[in-house]
Amino acid sequence: MDFEFLISDLNKNKNLFQKAIGTDKGLAKIGDGIVNLAYSVAKSSYLTNNSKNIIRTGLKVSKTILSNALKNANLKDFAKNRANAHDLANTVEALIAYVWLNNNITLNEIIKLLIDNISGDLTIRTEEIKNATIAFTNLLNHLKKFLPRETKK
């Protein structure tokens, strides 16, 4: 992708700190699109691979899944203080958009990472939530190395 300029202000900033990325509303909006598209294709692929039929589907990934993934991956430092589930989910979306716009991961790689980490029977809603949370936790763990380590004091 050629859209790295959309985060040049964040990359240029020598005082770059974690919350500046994790609480950016525009990044979260772009990340929302990445998360939903990637999960839709990953879920369709997983269901198709475990079925005799081809199954195409799509789903808006719930705030619960994303906020729990952020906690499991120990990335709450990127979220704002006293963040609720909605805020934490936005932080996940912002972090994914940041790494994607920085060309450190492609959409294809995100989808494959999700597929590799999905398991169980996704047609049972509670099981889907549990397994999608694991898949997004593993995705975030993979993205960690592309995120800034310093926190502004």
Within 47-76, the residues that bind a second copy by CB under 8 A are 48, 53-59
Give the span between the Cα atoms of 37 and 35, in whole angstroms: 6
- Is 40 a binder of a second copy (CB under 8 A)? yes
DSSP tag of 54 = -
Residue among 20, 111, 118, 132 that touches a second copy (CB under 8 A):
111
Backbone angles phi, psi at 73, to 5 degrees: -85, 5
Query: CA torsion angle for 39, 37, 95, 122 (degrees, to 10)?
Result: -10
Give the span between the Cα atoms of 123 and 137, in whole angstroms: 20
Judged by beta carbon, residue 41 or residue 147, the one nearer a second copy is 41
What minimum distance in Å lies between the beta carbon of 6 and a second copy? Answer: 5
Q: Which residues bind a second copy (CB under 8 A)?
A: 1-3, 5-9, 24-30, 32-34, 36-38, 40-41, 44-45, 48, 53-59, 107-108, 111
